[in-house]
Amino acid sequence: MNASPLPCVAVLGTGMMGFPVALRLRAAGFGVRAWNRTTAKAAGLSAHGVQVCADAAEAARGADMVLSLLADGAAMGEVLFAHGVATALRPDALVVDMASIQPREARDHAARLGERGIAHLDAPVSGGTTGAEAGTLAIMVGGKAADFARAQALFGALGHATHVGPHGAGQLAKLANQMIVGITIGAVAEALLFTAKGGADMAKVREAIAGGFADSRILQLHGQRMVERDFAPRARMTVQLKDMRNALATAREIGFDAPATALFESLYAQSVDHGLSGLDHAGLFVELASRNGMQ
């Protein structure tokens, strides 16, 4: 008995994350259409069997699933409801939003799509471009359990997915992830700079504390970037700042005090104000070094 064919997926947004995601889905056997606001960023997908579309509604028309990796909630809302994607979709289609947006925005999109009979999952990811290329993304999913089950083949091609609750819960999990990442990057940067200022070998300090209670993936990856002064963007400073601000906005909505997140939001904001917006989020190291008169 032949296996059921894999669904046709429209990938909306083919930037640093969307491009490798589209490639992985195509390599896994999905039919893939792609759209990007700047068409040139999607053009390279054609050589891999991806149909590049001129507008978002064209990509969505007739697709079984839409996978979005747009910049923010406002962009997602605009593409869904002003650019005709919701109108173009069949009533039984499934929209999977992998962008990092505010939970209330995810709930709003789910409700508005639900009025049209279209299912929705908020499914933000962690793992960066490396995880997208390798298919090892951590995917945090909010929505109905039945829709989560529908998307298993898609999630399996991209990484490991966990259903964490109703609509908006995936975004809450992602914000928690970004709070931990942003704060820990700051802790690693400050600690390494502290040792260098005192006369220790920063690279050796990082090596010495690896494996102890202070070890983490941030110390391993971002700490090494700090040692090497390698701040080429994998996840940009501006994206980290956006996520910290989304976390604080959500904290205000639910009546939660998040003082550590507020402190680091301020530090990332000052980094951007000081011209570091094009750096990887590990570039917070540069801001903290400058404050201490260190190169």
The string of pLDDT tens digits covering residues 48-101 is 999 999 999 999 998 999 999 998 889 999 999 999 999 999 999 999 999 989
- Residues 119, 15 within the same domain: yes
Q: For residue 274, is it within any domain? A: yes
- Residues 239, 122 within the same domain: no
What's the pLDDT score for residue 1? 39
What's the pLDDT score for residue 157? 97
CATH number at residue 104: 3.40.50.720
Q: For residue 158, is it within any domain? A: yes
What's the pLDDT score for residue 4? 53
User: How far from 208 is each of 185, 203, 261, CA to CA, in Å?
Assistant: 18, 9, 28
Domain that holds residue 145: 8-165
Q: For residue 148, is it within any domain? A: yes
- Residues 178, 39 within the same domain: no
| Residue at which a domain ends, from 165, 184, 215 | 165
- Residues 209, 155 within the same domain: no
- Residues 149, 75 within the same domain: yes
- Residues 183, 221 within the same domain: yes
CATH number at residue 271: 1.10.1040.10
- Residues 158, 201 within the same domain: no
The string of pLDDT tens digits covering residues 89-121 is 999 999 999 998 999 999 999 999 999 999 999
What's the pLDDT score for residue 127? 87
Q: For residue 98, is it within any domain? A: yes
- Residues 182, 150 within the same domain: no
Q: For residue 26, is it within any domain? A: yes
pLDDT band for 20, please (50, 70, 90 cuts).
Answer: very high
User: How far from 245 is each of 139, 168, 265, 268, CA to CA, in Å?
Assistant: 21, 16, 7, 10
Evaluate if residue 129 carries a pLDDT over 90. Answer: no
What's the pLDDT score for residue 5? 75
Angle between helices 237-254 and 259-273 (to 10 degrees): 150
Least confident stretch, 1-10, 139-148, 208-217, 245-254: 1-10
Catalytic residue list = 174
What secondary structure does DSSP assign to 133-190, as a single string? HHT-EEEEEES-HHHHHHTHHHHHHHEEEEEEESTTHHHHHHHHHHHHHHHHHHHHHH
| pTM of the complete model | 0.89
- Residues 217, 256 within the same domain: yes
- Residues 112, 196 within the same domain: no
The string of pLDDT tens digits covering residues 263-289 is 999 999 999 999 999 999 999 999 999
Q: For residue 3, is it within any domain? A: no
| Residue at which a domain ends, from 141, 165, 189 | 165
Q: Which residue has the higher pLDDT, 41 or 155?
A: 155
| Residue at which a domain ends, from 165, 190, 225 | 165
Evaluate if residue 295 carries a pLDDT over 50. Answer: yes
- Residues 149, 271 within the same domain: no
- Residues 85, 186 within the same domain: no
Closest CA to 122 of 147, 146, 99, 97: 97
Number of domains in the chain: 2
Q: For residue 1, is it within any domain? A: no
What percentage of the chain carries pLDDT values higher than 70? 99
Q: What is the mean pLDDT of residues 131-142?
A: 96
Q: For residue 183, is it within any domain? A: yes
